Amino acid sequence: MKTLKLTLATALLAVSALASAEEAVLKVSAIPDEAPTELQRKFAPLGQYLEKELGMKVQFVPVTDYAAVVTALNSDKIDMAWLGGFTFVQASLHGKVVPLVQREEDSKFTAKFIVNTAVGAKSLQDLKGKSFAFGSASSTSGHLMPRYFLQKEGIKPETFFKNVAYSGAHDATVAWVASGKVDAGALNASVWEKLVQSGKVDGSKVKLLATTPPFYDYNWTVRGNLDKKLQARISAAFLKLDPKNPQDKAILDLQRASRFIPTKADNYKGIEAAAEAAGLLK
């Protein structure tokens, strides 16, 4: 009976190996810095645009774990990914990857510190002995840079706060602080602004405490061994998106981008140095 099971499994494997040699597909993923449903919604129009521009099928692979996106890109399981500054540094340390474009906003990105109003804190120093939530441990604006700037203020999170937790995503951090599950937290400025604009932040429960100095964040990165011509065509497609064209504007708005600009690996040296200084790269 055991042999039978084994034979069955082997047969299935063989069939699938044959079936997988199909047409070209561009597999795209993104770090899960927001809820999975939100990521899918944001990507859908961009995916259709890329399919049209590149003349190939574009498939979005939803992933719920930051590190898994990095691993997938490094092991060629996906072709392109939306990475944060820190995940880009991790990916480039573990393999060959090429950053193509970034949003204009990403060259001067910031992170926000927020606090539950019941705590009554006026500055970061008032948070001593309170509980604090970062986003994902692998997040640039949700963990690395807030940690780095706290450190510059002389605050070592593990001893300064009562508890340090990782919510997993930027919107989750806001929900946690609003509910009082933690006293304060740090998140991506752009998600914060989106939540404030759409009225999803209850001003009587959560307030802004501080903003970090600007740094380079997110970009679209492809695996290093992806066809060079295809890389150029992908870049061109992104750069061609025109905010004056209503159709393009809709795509850009969902990405919360005014427009896309070319980027290079050197832009992220500062992030790498910060990660080194914060002890997150050992």
Which residues would be at the binding site for other proteins (CB under 8 A)? Answer: 1-2, 4-6, 8-9, 12, 16, 19-20, 35-36, 61, 63-68, 70-72, 75, 77, 90, 94, 118, 131, 133, 136-138, 162-163, 165-169, 171-172, 175-176, 179-182, 280-282
| CB nearer other proteins, residue 2 or residue 229 | 2
- Report the candidate in 152, 272, 275, 274 with the shortest Cα–Cα distance to residue 210: 152
The three-point CA angle 266-93-164 to 5° equals 100
| CB nearer other proteins, residue 59 or residue 107 | 59
Least separation in angstroms between residue 96's CB and other proteins is 14
| CB nearer other proteins, residue 20 or residue 197 | 20
Helix-helix angle 145-152:269-277, to 10 degrees? 60
Least separation in angstroms between residue 107's CB and other proteins is 25
| CB nearer other proteins, residue 22 or residue 266 | 22
Pairing state between β 184-188 and 131-134: parallel
| CB nearer other proteins, residue 152 or residue 162 | 162
| CB nearer other proteins, residue 147 or residue 259 | 147
Q: Taking the CA of residue 5 as centre, how many other CA atoms within 13 Å lie in the half-sphere pointing to its CB?
A: 2
With a CB cutoff of 8 Å and minimum separation 6, the contacts of 132 are 157, 161, 163, 164, 165, 182, 183, 184, 185, 186
What whole-number distance in Å separates Cα of residue 42 and Cα of residue 215? 24
Between the alpha carbon of residue 97 and those of residues 75, 83, 89, 94, the distances in Å are: 11, 11, 10, 9
What whole-number distance in Å separates Cα of residue 107 and Cα of residue 111? 13
Least separation in angstroms between residue 1's CB and other proteins is 7
Least separation in angstroms between residue 97's CB and other proteins is 14
Strand partners for 59:
27
- Asked if residues 164 and 135 have their Cβ atoms less than 8 Å apart, the reply is no
Least separation in angstroms between residue 78's CB and other proteins is 9
Q: Taking the CA of residue 193 as centre, how many other CA atoms within 13 Å lie in the half-sphere pointing to its CB?
A: 10
| CB nearer other proteins, residue 4 or residue 246 | 4
Least separation in angstroms between residue 14's CB and other proteins is 12
Least separation in angstroms between residue 104's CB and other proteins is 29
